[in-house]
């Protein structure tokens, strides 16, 4: 099936009072970037922050869209990759934004995946004590997760995302055609975060994904639909709990196990974030079934089967290269989650689409479970 050049956009609102904004989803919506900015901030100019991969494909069309609407735009291009979420690159981005004479009423445009969204969003939160910014996500992960909700950050030597701010964008423009140039492996990794919304709170969406995932990977209208469902889910959670004092933690399904595996692989190409989350969700489902008796094994297997079917890692065996000992993995989990009197907080599941926050998971149970998993290697 060939994809249409354009589709009528779907608009999802993130309801946060004075900080409310729209997520505009559709094929070809990038062409409206300048016009939308001009409508929201008449007379504003902008700096587009992007990485060198994304720049190759999508910077000129973005600039053309700004130019057509009469919005003056300069550009900052940083190297692609997580390493750009550093103090050094952050400084360069801030200085470049200031050098382009951005005033309080002007804007930053984050054109890229989660790395650019986090980096440019954080820069926007501090330059001139805060300017507005627009997210133009170019990865599936950014479409369904990082571009929505206002978490921005760079990395510290002590860990990922430790220096940052909550800073909501004023618009998210998710042009699904931009994903056509995304490498398959990156698309698949983002799919893990998409499936997460079904697994954590929407059994019907999960069943829909089981039936339609091929169309989501293809450029069919199913892709826009899936992204819209995910954004609606994230928008609802963020509207309830903007600063993650409660419910928003549900979005961390699979992330405790996942982060430990990601850290164990040195945050390298060995295991992309979404891949780690797929393995982490599979472990969370199995742990909920086997060690906690919360969910039928058949349901846990169904969740895991789907992730495996799309080609995501679901077993520690699927992760290439050596993994550290169970002690080290427990240490990594302990760094990620506070251990209180031997108890850990985990997102567990009572069924597909029924995740909940459990603050009293016995660390010894987790260790036994992980030892069993490592022994399978
Ligand atoms: N703020 C949040 O709420 C939040 C949520 C989840 C993840 N994150 C952060 O997001 C980051 C991961 O994001 P990501 O997976 O999007 O990674 P990324 O931004 O590094 O993008 C992945 C790769 O794809 C390339 N790329 C991006 N768009 C492309 C396109 N359209 N065509 C071709 N190549 C393209 C990039 O250059 C990069 O090499 C992590 O730093 C993570 O901490 C933030
Ligand atoms: Zn994630």
pLDDT per residue of the chain (377 residues) written in tens, 0 to 9 = 445 556 789 999 999 999 999 999 999 999 999 999 999 999 999 999 999 999 999 999 999 999 999 999 999 999 999 999 999 999 999 999 999 999 999 999 999 999 999 999 999 999 999 999 999 999 999 999 999 999 999 999 988 999 999 999 999 999 999 999 999 999 999 999 999 999 999 999 999 999 999 999 997 799 999 999 999 999 999 999 999 999 999 999 999 999 999 999 999 899 999 999 999 999 999 999 998 899 999 999 999 999 999 999 999 999 999 999 999 999 999 877 667 788 999 999 999 999 999 999 999 999 999 999 999 87
DSSP codes of every residue in 234-274: HHHHHHH-TT-SSGGGGGGTTHHHHHHHHHHTTTSTTS-HH
Distance 283 CA to ligand 2 centre (A): 15
Distance 175 CA to ligand 1 centre (A): 15
Q: Which H or E run contains 102?
A: none
Query: Which tokens is 180 given?
Result: 């056509």
Predicted local confidence at residue 292, as pLDDT: 84
116 lines ligand 1 (CB under 6 A): yes
* Whole-angstrom distance, CA of residue 188 vs CA of residue 240: 29
pTM of the model: 0.96
151 among known catalytic residues: yes
The residue assigned the tokens 């489902």 is 285
* Nearest CA residue ID for atom 41, ligand 1: 115
188 among known catalytic residues: no
- Give the closest ligand to the alpha carbon of residue 256: 2
pLDDT digits (tens, 9 = 90+) for 24-56: 999 999 999 999 999 999 999 999 999 999 999
Cβ contact 197:12 at 8 Å: no
pLDDT digits (tens, 9 = 90+) for 162-192: 999 999 999 999 999 999 999 999 999 999 9
């Amino acid at each position: 099936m060939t994809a249409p050049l354009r589709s009528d956009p779907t608009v999802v609102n993130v309801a946060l009072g004075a900080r409310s904004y729209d997520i505009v989803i559709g094929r070809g919506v990038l062409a409206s970037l300048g016009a939308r900015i001009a409508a929201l901030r008449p007379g504003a100019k902008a700096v587009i922050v992007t990485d060198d991969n994304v720049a190759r494909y999508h910077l000129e069309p973005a600039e053309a869209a700004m130019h057509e609407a009469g919005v003056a735009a300069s550009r900052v291009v940083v190297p692609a990759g997580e390493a750009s979420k550093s103090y050094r690159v952050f400084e360069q981005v801030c200085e470049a934004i200031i050098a382009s004479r951005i005033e309080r009423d002007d804007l930053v445009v984050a054109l890229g995946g989660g790395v650019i969204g986090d980096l440019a969003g954080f820069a926007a939160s501090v330059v001139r004590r805060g300017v507005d910014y627009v997210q133009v996500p170019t990865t599936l992960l950014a479409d369904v997760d990082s571009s929505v909700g206002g978490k921005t950050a760079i990395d510290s030597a002590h860990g990922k995302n430790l220096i940052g701010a909550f800073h909501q964008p004023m618009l998210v423009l998710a042009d699904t055609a931009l994903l056509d140039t995304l490498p398959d492996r990156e698309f698949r990794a983002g799919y893990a975060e998409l499936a997460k919304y079904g697994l954590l709170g929407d059994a019907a969406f999960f069943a829909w994904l089981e039936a339609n995932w091929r169309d989501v990977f293809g450029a069919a209208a199913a892709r826009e639909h899936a992204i819209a469902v995910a954004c609606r889910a994230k928008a609802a959670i963020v509207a309830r709990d903007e600063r993650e004092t409660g419910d928003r933690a549900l979005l961390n399904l699979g992330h405790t196990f996942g982060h430990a595996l990601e850290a164990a692989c040195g945050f390298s190409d060995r295991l992309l974030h979404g891949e780690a989350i797929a393995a982490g969700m599979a472990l969370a489902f199995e742990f909920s079934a086997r060690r906690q008796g919360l969910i039928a094994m058949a349901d846990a297997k169904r969740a895991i089967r789907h992730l495996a079917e799309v080609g995501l890692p679901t077993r520690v065996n699927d992760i290439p290269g050596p993994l550290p000992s169970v002690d080290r993995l427990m240490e990594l989990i302990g760094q990620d989650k506070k251990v209180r009197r031997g108890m850990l907080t985990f997102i567990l599941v009572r069924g597909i689409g029924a995740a909940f926050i459990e603050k009293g998971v016995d660390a010894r149970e987790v260790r036994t479970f992980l030892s069993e998993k490592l022994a399978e290697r």
